[in-house]
Chains A and B, each alone.
Chain A
Amino acid sequence: AQSVTQPDIHITVSEGASLELRCNYSYGATPYLFWYVQSPGQGLQLLLKYFSGDTLVQGIKGFEAEFKRSPSSFNLRKPSVHWSDAAEYFCAVGAGTSGTYKYIFGTGTRLKVLA
């Protein structure tokens, strides 16, 4: 069965420090992978996506992620965190018997940024 695991529930980093948020996935075929960010009381904004091709994906706001098959991971990185990056981050995989529309989300990682 398809699944997404985000091992870290909370992460705290200092402003200016580097960031890596972990995402492990389980999916039989080539997955469609996404990272979304959710600010308090807001909807989800797409940071980046992987469908195929280059395994290093660049997104908005200076984020990037690297697709790996073994072990299966799609970790999100940012070289220097800004205070405005404090939010909750969700990794998702597109799944479904007839397509990839049924997104499966991880439980999220809440990022706190120290000034």
Chain B
Amino acid sequence: NAGVMQNPRHLVRRRGQEARLRCSPMKGHSHVYWYRQLPEEGLKFMVYLQKENIIDESGMPKERFSAEFPKEGPSILRIQQVVRGDSAAYFCASSPPPGANEQYFGPGTRLTVT
């Protein structure tokens, strides 16, 4: 059973470009969560999605960031017009339907903005 998959693992973007981060949850998991880890800090919650629904986006910056989890395909975290402060590791986690509270984390995407 494959774990949570994220790609790319490393992404370099110049200021002003767009970054697209992908996350494929574990088989059977319908809940996806995105977290951001800034250098020397712990992970910070960004958004919680179920298929075709955003459940909680209270941790998302108000501008330039968006997330989706379509009916088919991976979850996408999109950052428009990236700035140097967006450089971080972005982790995706997934969990089974309600009743389970354990999240399984992917290997992360390390975004570097030059």
Interface residues of A (CB under 8 A from B): 4, 32, 34, 36, 41-46, 49, 51, 90, 92, 94, 96, 98-108
A90 touches B48 (CB 8 A): no
Partner of B101, one of A36, A44, A94: A94
Given A43-B107, A43-B108, A44-B91, verify A32-B101 contact (CB < 8 Å): yes
Given A43-B91, A46-B102, A100-B101, verify A105-B107 contact (CB < 8 Å): no
A42 touches B107 (CB 8 A): yes
Q: Is the interface of A mostly helix, strand, loop or mixed?
A: strand
Given A90-B42, A90-B43, verify A103-B103 contact (CB < 8 Å): yes
Q: Interface extent on B, as a size class? A: 20 to 34
Within 8 A of A (CB), among B80-114: 91, 95, 98, 101-108, 110
Partner of A43, one of B55, B58, B105: B105
Q: Is B33 an interface residue (CB 8 A)?
A: yes
Measured CB to CB, the closest approach of chain A to B39, in angstroms, equals 11
Residue of B at shortest CB range from A51? B101
- Cα-based distance from A78 to B106 in the complex (angstroms): 25
B33 touches A101 (CB 8 A): yes
Residue of B at shortest CB range from A94? B101
Count of A-B contacts with CB under 8 A?
A: 60
Interface residues of B (CB under 8 A from A): 4, 31, 33, 35, 40-45, 48, 55-56, 58-59, 91, 95, 98, 101-108, 110
A103 touches B43 (CB 8 A): yes
- Cα-based distance from A90 to B44 in the complex (angstroms): 12
Residue of A at shortest CB range from B41? A107
Inside 8 A of A32's CB, which chain B residues have their CB? 101
Inside 8 A of A94's CB, which chain B residues have their CB? 101
Q: 20 new A-B pairs (CB below 8 Å) besides A42-B108, A90-B43, A101-B48?
A: A32-B101, A34-B102, A36-B105, A43-B91, A43-B105, A43-B106, A44-B105, A45-B105, A46-B104, A90-B42, A92-B43, A94-B101, A98-B56, A101-B31, A101-B56, A101-B101, A102-B45, A102-B48, A102-B59, A105-B43
Inside 8 A of A46's CB, which chain B residues have their CB? 102, 104-105
